[in-house]
Amino acid sequence: MAAVVRLTESNVTAEPGSETSCSVRIRNAGPVVDRFAVELVGAACDWTDVEPSVVSLLPGAESQVVLTFRPPRSSAVGAGSMPFGVKVRSSEDPESSRVEEGELTVAPFTDLGTELVPRTSRGSRTGRHELVVDNNGNHPLTVEIHAADPDRLLDFRISPALLDLAPGTATFIKLRAQPTRRFLRGDNRTLPFQAFVTAPDVEATTADGAMLQHALLPKSTMKVVALTLAVVAASVALWFTVLKPQVHSEATKAVQQQSAQLSAEANSAKQHAAEAQAQASRAAQSAQQAKASPSGGASPTPSGARGAAAGTLANSDSKTAIDFRITTSVAPGRPGSFTTASHDQPKKTVLWITDMVLQNPQGDTGTLQVRRGRIVLFEFGLANFRDLDYHFVQPLRFTRTDRITLAVDCQNPGATKCTPSAYLDGQLVKG
């Protein structure tokens, strides 16, 4: 290629937001007329003008092309050196081109933006804010954050208080304002303050804010307390004027009713005691008759009530009197299979039974036997009775080896257990 390209300035400095120019000299060193296309290569091509972009030169002729750099005032174009090249192509020899290189230095600029969110906080103890710091410049920056209020009524907590900002970034800083004095009740107080963002060799930027301090006990709380006290006072008045007399009246009625009931129970108890005394007298008469009789027998009373004349011993003693109950719980089984339950009689004693009450409350079916040892004394069909009394003029005698025993053959349908029992009364004496 027969072209000579030369930059008048190989190092150019440009201020963001303004323009700077330099020239390129192009000479046709070829033997024929040639047309040359000029363009800029590199990162600066988007905001650089080339004028003219095409020149036609006679052999040996020379022309000048002006490059105008207009870097934007934006964080998108960083401060510092930026290489560029001027590319010249010949129309006579399109396959070849010539590039002349230079260097452009973009000057730094600083642009800090601050905003306090929210501008006014509310609270009784702490106001919470966020300080947004924008680095709109084209170079990194180290900044320091602090805050102050004119009346020194606030303490501040800032996190972080020192930070590095990259170009084109926004950073959020936590800022808490705490009143130095608190008040219990009263009107809200507005406490203004300023947040400062400072950096070396840069004018500080500020953001205005305020904290609306509330009372520790807001007005609504006082209203609730007053209403509560009024309700308590009304409740106390209601108690002493209405409820307490009514409760006293109801309590008096209850005591009277209870006294009447106790009186009735006492009268009933006296009546039962008189009946028991009469029955004891009749029993004593029967005992005298039994003593005079040469032999005794059983006197059944199937009606369900104790007989009028119970069997007694001639030498009966209240110290040797005994009564007990034998209970059973037998599952249904094969006919003729008996399950036994007996009284645990002490050794070297003789048990005389004068009264026996058999009970079948569930109406079980099957067979119940009363035995002396293995000897069957009585046998009953369970389906034939619910309650059955026996009072013996001549008491029945049992020892520890031949103890009184209940044997049950349960024939209930299904799995219902038979539960007949016996109540026994008599004397236990040493044998």
For 227-266, the pLDDT digits (tens) are 888 888 888 788 888 777 776 677 678 767 876 787 777 6
Per-residue pLDDT tens digits for 307-341: 333 444 545 577 899 999 999 999 999 999 999 99
Q: Tell me if 311 sits within 8 A of 418, measured CB to CB.
A: no
How many C-beta atoms lie closer than 10 Å to residue 41's C-beta? 13
Per-residue pLDDT tens digits for 112-129: 999 999 999 998 899 999
Element (H, E) at 255: helix 244-292
Per-residue pLDDT tens digits for 366-378: 999 999 999 999 9
Domains and CATH numbers, the chain: 3-106 (2.60.40.10), 112-213 (2.60.40.2310), 300-430 (2.60.120)
Q: Which of 83, 82, 105, 137 is nearest to 15 (CA)?
A: 105
Apex CA 168: angle with CA 145 and CA 171, to 5°? 35
- Give pLDDT, residue 227: 82
